[in-house]
Amino acid sequence: MARRFPALDWQPSDRDAEALASVDAWAAEARLANLRPAIALDAAAPDWPIVSADALLCVNMLHISPWDAAVGLFAGAGRVLGSGAPLVLYGPFVEPDVETAASNHAFDQSLRQRDPVWGLRSTADLDRLAAGHGMTRTARCAMPANNLVLVYRRD
């Protein structure tokens, strides 16, 4: 993403030390001026190591973490994003009144077998969570492999 969007500064984060080291190794190889060193950030934590951001991008996290991580992500986004700033989510989701692909059903079952607090999240649940933190979904984009991009913005 940093190579594709060189005018943007990218601040990668993860809560896992091994993942942080991996991100930094890739970043060192890429040698991009707009890619900052990775920081430890637990989305579910009440305090984040950042106080403001122009946007937040969350890729493939919500389905492999407990619901508390989603709650924390929206709470944190509500704190650090300014009015109109986006929280962009990418991954597989379940949508009310939209047939879920068989592969996503199977994926959801496999996630829940590995950890019962994991699983595909409902866009309706995320919309309610967002509203509780002063955010509204402004876009939904279908992506390959039955994934979606959901964009929420601060009111």
CA gap 61, 134 in Å, rounded = 21
Radius of gyration over every alpha carbon of the chain, rounded to an integer in angstroms: 16
Nearest-angstrom CA–CA distance, 131 and 19: 31
| Domain positions in the chain | 1-38, 41-154
Q: What is the pLDDT of residue 155?
A: 85
- In CATH, the architecture of 41-154 is 3-Layer(aba) Sandwich (3.40)
Calpha distance 137→86 (Å, rounded) = 9
In terms of Cα–Cα distance, which of 140, 136, 132, 135 is closest to 97? 140
Beta carbons of 70 and 78 less than 8 angstroms apart: no
pLDDT tens by residue, 105-139: 999 999 999 999 999 999 999 999 999 999 999 99
Tell me, what's the pLDDT at 49? 96
- The confidence score (pLDDT) of residue 30 equals 95
Query: Is the pTM of the predicted complex or chain greater than 0.85?
Result: yes
Residues in the chain where the model's pLDDT stays below 70: none
